[in-house]
A and B are shown apart, each in its own frame.
Chain A
Amino acid sequence: MPVIDTTNLTKRYGAVTAVDGLDLTVEAGEVFGFLGPNGAGKSTTIDMLLDYTRPTAGSATILGRDVHAHAAELRYDVGVLPEGFGLYDRLTGRRHLEAAIRWHDAADDPATLLDRVGLDGTDADRRVGQYSKGMCQRLALAMALVGDPELLILDEPSSGLDPHGIQTMRRLVRAAADRGTTVFFSSHILAEVEAVADRVAILADGDLVAVDRVDELRQRVGSGTTIRLHVPGAVPGTVTDIDGVDSVTRTGTVLEVTTSDPAAKADVVTELRTAGVEIQDLAAEGPSLEEVFTAYTQEVSA
């Protein structure tokens, strides 16, 4: 039985179609990334899965139960980190967690949950009104973990987090997956989805562009990263032979190296340095979402 199953799930607001006939299946135990730019319909889809909004057409089930008819009882099995959530400014973090535990009839230890999301006891005893966005995000995640749910639905879980928080989030998602929890999360950052997801669905303008395994996605999008190096001097031809380097082009003093293996970046730099080439500047950029879309949509039309 799929954990999430949508059939022709559609949401229109007047003439605008936010989500257009989505058919999506998420299997037990997988980490599923829901990727798309802002405004693609990710949050609208998640809001429908959580019964915050109702579909114009189609339906969705979670763990075999209709998301509308069984919305409240599903919460015992589904941990939720919704977009645009708000906490109670006047209550402490610990109070929030205690309330969530009571609401779920759960027996979790608040200290354990706080520890898992990286909040300490001092943080927990402060009022949430004094929390940063990232701390609110961590607390909300701790509340989502209450009752050890079978499925976690996280809407843009990394938004508002600093790099360290993003690391914690990734670690948590992987840890949850290792315990057998299914994770469904949305993001508009390709690197984030690549880092933690097993499978990914790509959404653009309310349409599902593709559903793929992350390794296949990587392959299809081709190059992992493009590095641009500012090198005035001559460059040895051996750079092309480095494992994971796809192509090397030189335009004036700028050397553009495309790689399919993240590790190749350091190798390129090392190779140049040992050859005594002076590197004046260096920039790396991963494939953009647009490039991902192009890779998939061209495939479809070809």
Chain B
Amino acid sequence: MTASWIAIARKDVADATRSRMLWGFTLVFVAFLGMALPVAGELFPDVVTVSPAKALAGVAMLAQLFIPGIAIVAGYMAVVGERRTGSLRVLLGAPFTRGRVLAGKLVGRLVVTLVALTTGFAVAAALVVALYGAPTAAAFGGFVATGLLLGVVFTGLAVGGSAATATRGHAMTATIGSFMGMVFFWQPLAAGAYAAVTGGLPGRIAEPWYFLLKRVNPLEAYRVLTEAALDERVDAVPQFPLEDVPRHAPLEQLAMTNRLAGPVPFYLQDWFAALILLAWAVIPVLVGYHRFRTTDLG
């Protein structure tokens, strides 16, 4: 018999909720919403009447940056922080396995991220209702669910990265670096791969595997799923002009389903995007666990 991870999680929540940085980030997110939502119409390129769903799509656009930011801040020091201060030696001096320590840390930080996000979403919901009326329950429920799932993904990435590295600097590089890569390099790399294989940039009609390549990025998977939930377009942030598509093509032509020559393959269905997000929620934690379990805690 060994001690349970619950003790670690409980202590961790108490510890992490004292972090000023986390609440600062949440506050910035809420403040951003407060500024952006009243002028949500300006977020769209055309003059539009802002429906509740459109307003949520605007929130989702910002959330692509804020959710990972909050989750990474909440999670990246989870394990490596205890390792640097030496308190990990105290925890492992008690009857905890390394796996239990990691599990407790992960659960603790998930609770923290999800509480912070729920706070943010509650404020967002109140603002949307006040300004643009109530969204449908399905749209709002889907919006919250995809947002929380993205929070889970990046908390897993942050805690996994924290477990896999020996210094704070390396943990930051691994977690923030991964996020930066997803934001800035994924689209160019996908377009580059497309050019390398086909000899040209992706056009308005492109090969289906190109869309999959983009979608393996958890931020893109989140975007796709949120679009499906809201039935509204959610722009990628930032959007690189790397595709050879007409500048003023109607939005409908730019919908992914209208950019395929053939039928939509299974891997471009919405459920597959959900699967991609779930895989991202699990794999970094497993990698972190493997490295943490086998490393020397010198």
Contacts and interface: CB of A to CB of B under 8 A. Distances in A.
B90 interface: yes
A85 B100 contact: no
Given A75-B94, A103-B7, A90 B15 contact: yes
A50 to B, nearest CB: 7
Contacts of B95: 72-73, 75-76, 103-105
A13 to B, nearest CB: 9
Nearest to B87: A86
Contacts of A90: 15, 18
A85 B94 contact: no
A143 interface: yes
B96 interface: yes
Interface string B88-105: 011011111100100000
Nearest to A18: B298
B13 to A, nearest CB: 14
Nearest to B296: A53
Contact of A144 (B3, B92, B93, B297): B93
Given A52-B296, A72-B100, A104-B3, A88 B15 contact: yes
A102 interface: yes
**Looking at B90, B96, B294, B297, which has the most chain A CB atoms within 10 Å of its CB?**
B90
Contacts of B296: 47, 52-54
Contact of B89 (A73, A85, A105): A85
A85 B87 contact: yes
Interface string B172-192: 000000000000000000000
Nearest to A71: B97
Given A50-B93, A54-B296, A143-B90, A99 B2 contact: no
Interface in A54-104: 54, 71-73, 75-76, 80-82, 84-88, 90, 99-100, 102-104
B47 to A, nearest CB: 53
A240 B133 CA distance: 104
A85 to B, nearest CB: 5
A47 B87 contact: no
Contacts of B82: 86
A82 B93 contact: yes
Contacts of B87: 85-88
B297 A52 contact: yes
Given A47-B298, A52-B298, A72 B96 contact: yes
A225 to B, nearest CB: 37
Nearest to A89: B85
A242 to B, nearest CB: 49
Nearest to A78: B93
B2 A52 contact: no
Nearest to A81: B93
A52 B90 contact: no
Interface string B74-89: 0000000010011101
B1 A75 contact: no
A86 B3 contact: no
A105 B154 CA distance: 34
Interface string A156-193: 00000000000000000000000000000000000000
Interface in A122-164: 140, 143-144
Contacts of A75: 93-96
Interface string B1-22: 1110001000100010010000
A56 to B, nearest CB: 10
A84 B89 CA distance: 8
A229 to B, nearest CB: 46
A82 B2 contact: no
B97 A99 contact: no
Interface in B1-45: 1-3, 7, 11, 15, 18
Given A73-B1, A90-B15, A103-B3, A82 B298 contact: no
A103 B2 CA distance: 9
Nearest to B88: A86
A38 to B, nearest CB: 15
Nearest to A77: B95
B90 A85 contact: yes
B94 A104 contact: yes
A71 B89 CA distance: 13
Nearest to A146: B94
Contacts of A104: 3, 94-95
Interface in A243-283: none
B242 to A, nearest CB: 45
Q: Ordered nearest first, which 8 A-B pairs have the shortest CB separation?
A: A86-B86, A86-B85, A80-B93, A103-B94, A53-B296, A72-B2, A75-B95, A72-B97
Given A54-B294, A81-B93, A84-B86, 15 more contacts: A47-B298, A50-B92, A50-B93, A52-B92, A52-B298, A53-B298, A54-B296, A73-B95, A75-B93, A75-B95, A82-B89, A82-B93, A86-B86, A104-B3, A105-B95
Interface of B: 1-3, 7, 11, 15, 18, 82, 85-87, 89-90, 92-97, 100, 294, 296-298
28 contacts: A50-B92, A50-B93, A52-B296, A52-B297, A52-B298, A53-B298, A54-B296, A72-B2, A72-B95, A73-B1, A73-B2, A75-B93, A75-B95, A75-B96, A80-B93, A84-B89, A85-B86, A85-B89, A85-B90, A86-B85, A86-B87, A87-B87, A88-B87, A99-B7, A103-B3, A103-B96, A104-B3, A104-B95
